[in-house]
Amino acid sequence: MTSSRANDAHLIEFLTDLFGPSRVLCRPHQLAAYECDGYVAQTGLPRAVVFPETTDEVAQVVRYLHEHEVPFLPRGAGTGLSGGAMPRNGEVVISLVRMNKLLRVDFDNLRAVVQPGHVNLQLTRKISAQGYYYAPDPSSQSVCTIGGNLAENAGGSHCLKYGVTTNHIVAAKVVLPTGDVVDIGAEFGDALGYDLLGLVVGSEGTLGIATEITVKILKKPEAVRTALAMFDTVADAADTVTDIIGAGIIPAAIEMMDQLAMQAVDKSNYHVGYPKDIEAVLLIEVDGMAAGLEDVAAEIVHICHKHNVRTVKVAASDEERALWWSSRKMAFGATGRISPDYIVQDGVIPRTKLSQVMARIQQLSEESGLRIANVFHAGDGNLHPLICYDSRVPGQTELATRVGSEILKACVDAGGSITGEHGVGVEKIEEMRYMFDDTDLAAQAAVRQVFNPADLCNAGKLIPKPARCAEVKHMQRLIEQHAEVFRDLEDQTLTLRS
């Protein structure tokens, strides 16, 4: 189906005319690399991939696609973990990675303007010599784009103190799904009218394509102290987190990893050497004015000791601190060392429910027989259980998906949410119904309708369609019920064939 569509001569002719052949991928075999993003459990071939270089080019292609009713979606670095940049309707993928310029920096007013394909960490690199940085730091910051961050309202280790992406974006130029170009937000002060920027940030590419983004930059803190604390039990580590925050300290970050996650990174190039018999490690960072920071660090060490810490150590050098951070930031990818496949979940819970939800995760792991590694932004109560599975074993992908879904439900039941920072995408679209009722979803769908009237821009992501969703659920139940019968049938056909 997709390949015959890909031959859609008019479309390809238009795209090639607009972009030149070197900026269009359209032969079926050239498209496989765009079949999925960081979430690999579902894939779909795009119809074509184009690489615009200006807002005007994005607007032109979107206008054409809108007029001709061709579905499309924006894509940054494709590190999304919920399938947001995965084509499921034979979309034209609008890749923004070539729009990667830093357009302007205004150090005095703490603003920078970037194109959407600008890589997050590169911005800090480019302004750090002057003593500035860009605060939101998803673990994928060395690759993910600021456009993708905007769409996912990305978080990061330091968002405990500094806030998530939405707190750092002040304005954006957006190509609407109809091809119109609008400026939303305000470089300074509060924008008048509805908070459209607030709406677009975190809309997962369903309300338009950001082509120019104005962000806040910050002066680098005078000093930083980073501690690594190892605990025999998750409960002790969890209590430490609560106590630190209770003591009135607002750390720049508090990250936690469990034993399985430690094992995974320790097998990688980012080896720290964690003891094999501890349950949890905390990475705690404080920053700010140099004066007094030493005392805060000492207070943190003291609190760790109150909760039976095995060892706690403040980084002695920049190298040591960098290694601890890489070890945390590479934990997802390093899970490949211990498992052929994994699904990262992204649930949020009230911090005080950590031990309880952890116990439930442990229980799910035992019931399903799937190992689950855990990495948390502990300060925010943002959990990342990494469900390990092997897609080559029949049924395991589905099992892992189910376990993920159960974990999310446990988070919601504990008073939390189904996503902290990775977005809903296609991955958690069913769980949206667990969180919201039909009226809530209808209100959201109505907003989408205004911006994206033909639903061509990243259709099928974020908001389940009430009716279809019920249908899908019904189908799923049917399939599950009859799976045995299907399998038997398949076996029989195979025997007949051979």
Partner 1 sequence: MQEPNSAFLWPDAPEADKYSVCVHCGFCLEVCPTYQQLGDENHSPRGRVYLIKQAAEGVLPLDESVVDPVFTCLDCRACETVCPSGVQVGALIEEARGQVFHAAPARGWKGLIQRFFLRAVFPKPRRLKLLAGLLRFYQRSGLQRWVRKLRLLAVLPKHLREMEAILPKVPDRRAIDALPPEIPATGSTDKGVAGLFTGCVMDVFFADVNQATARVAARNGWRVRVPKDQLCCGALQVHAGDRDMARQMARRNIDVFLASGADRIIINAAGCGAALKEYPALFRDDPVYREKAEQFSARVRDISELLVESGFEPPQGEVPRTIAYHDACHLCHAQQVRTQPRTLLGAIPGLCLVEMADSDRCCGSAGIYNLTHPEMAGALLERKMDDLPDGIDGVAMGNPGCMMQLMVGAHRRQADVEILHTVELLDLAYQREEVGTR
The SS3 of residue 335 is helix
Provide the minimum distance between the beta carbon of 393 and ligand SF4 in the complex, in angstroms, as a whole number. Answer: 20
CB 217 within 8 A of CB 133: yes
**Residue 81: CB minimum distance to ligand SF4, A:** 12
Q: How far is CA 440 from the centre of its chain?
A: 23
Q: Does 48 bind partner 1 (CB under 8 A)?
A: no
Instruction: Assess 79 for contact with partner 1 (CB under 8 A).
Output: yes
**Using CB under 6 A as the criterion, what x/- string covers residues 430-469 for binding ligand FAD?**
----------------------------x-----------
Q: CA-to-CA distance for 225 and 284, rounded, in angstroms?
A: 8
Give the containing element (helix H, strand E) for 56: helix 55-67
Cβ at position 88, least distance to ligand FAD in Å: 11
Give dist(CA 226, CA 220) in Å, integer. Answer: 15
Smallest distance from the beta carbon of 38 to ligand FAD, in angstroms? 4
Single-letter amino acid code for the residue at 363: Q
| Partner whose binding site includes residue 337, from ligand FAD, ligand SF4, partner 1, none (CB under 5 to 8 Å by kind) | partner 1
Non-local CB neighbours of 449 within 8 Å, separated by 6+ positions: 455
Classified as helix, coil or strand, 218 is strand
Those residues whose C-beta lies under 8 Å from the C-beta of residue 138, and which sit 6 or more positions away, are 120, 144, 149, 154, 155, 156, 421
Long-range contact set of residues 259-264: C-beta below 8 Å, sequence gap at least 24: 260/338, 260/371, 260/372, 260/373, 260/374, 260/386, 261/331, 261/335, 261/373, 261/374, 261/375, 261/386, 263/338, 263/373, 264/331, 264/334, 264/335, 264/336, 264/337, 264/338, 264/373
Task: Give the footprint of partner 1 on residues 385-404 (CB under 8 A).
Answer: 392
Query: DSSP secondary-structure letter at 91?
Result: P
Give how many residues touch partner 1 by CB under 8 A: 44
Residues 346-375 that bind partner 1 (CB under 8 A): none
Residues within window 197-216 making contact with ligand FAD, judged by CB under 6 A? 204-205, 209-210
Q: Whole-angstrom Cα distance, residue 18 to residue 60?
A: 8
Q: Assess 156 for contact with ligand FAD (CB under 6 A).
A: yes
Binding at 254: pick from ligand SF4, partner 1, ligand FAD, none (beta carbon under 5-8 Å per type)? none
Q: Which of 37, 212, 239, 380 binds ligand FAD (CB under 6 A)?
A: 37
Selected from 14, 51, 133, 231, the binder of partner 1 by CB under 8 A is 51
Residues 10-39 that bind partner 1 (CB under 8 A): 25, 27, 29-30, 32-38
Q: Single out the residue of 130, 138, 93, 87 nearest to residue 110, CA to CA.
A: 130
Q: Contact with partner 1 (CB under 8 A): which of 2, 16, 60, 142? A: 142
Residues near ligand FAD (CB under 6 A) are 37-38, 73-81, 84-85, 96, 116, 138-140, 144-145, 147-149, 151-152, 154-156, 204-205, 209-210, 332-333, 421-422, 458
Interface residues with partner 1 (CB under 8 A) are 25, 27, 29-30, 32-38, 40, 49, 51, 77-79, 95, 97-98, 100, 117, 119, 140, 142-144, 265, 267-270, 330-337, 340-342, 392
